[in-house]
Structure 1
């Protein structure tokens, strides 16, 4: 059995890395298909997105829902366990906004246009 020095190590094992928190923040807003997540995250490769989704599913944080139709439809959504991360994710987002305001005089230079994200 794995031992952690401090509990945050366990949390980072589940949500650590460049993409998992971003995926979770998008799924807090609504259920999404893989292609929709890929569009919202232009810097991620399809292989990495698939890997991150599988890991989050294995950790019980999200569900992969397959609809029995042609063509097949798959959506990802947070589990109840995944929703328990919402307060922490909200705090990270708020801190990120404050950090951008503190470090970048014109935040439009570093933030994607919200209208682009609303298209999904």
Structure 2
């Protein structure tokens, strides 16, 4: 609790209890003849998250499209070193491309803008 102008204020902490996202890369599987036989998800880590509403300005800034059914915006705790250009996200057997990661100003949380690409079963 903080004292603000003589009034006790509670800090709002999030438990990030809407789900768990797994992030990592997608590697090509090859047989003994070096022929492509499929793809597999290689997990780098996981984070608990909360769903957030995609605002109109988010669609304009991050070019995530108008199809809200296949796009997600989630908030997680901040971690350093995630490269949105190579990372993919898996949630409930669907995999998503990371369109953008927007850290908060205080670097405590970050917003992930995700676009659904398909089912994980399709790439294993």
Q: Which has the higher strand share?
A: 2
Q: Same fold per TM (> 0.5)?
A: no
* Bigger proportion of residues as helix: 1
Bigger radius of gyration among the two? 2
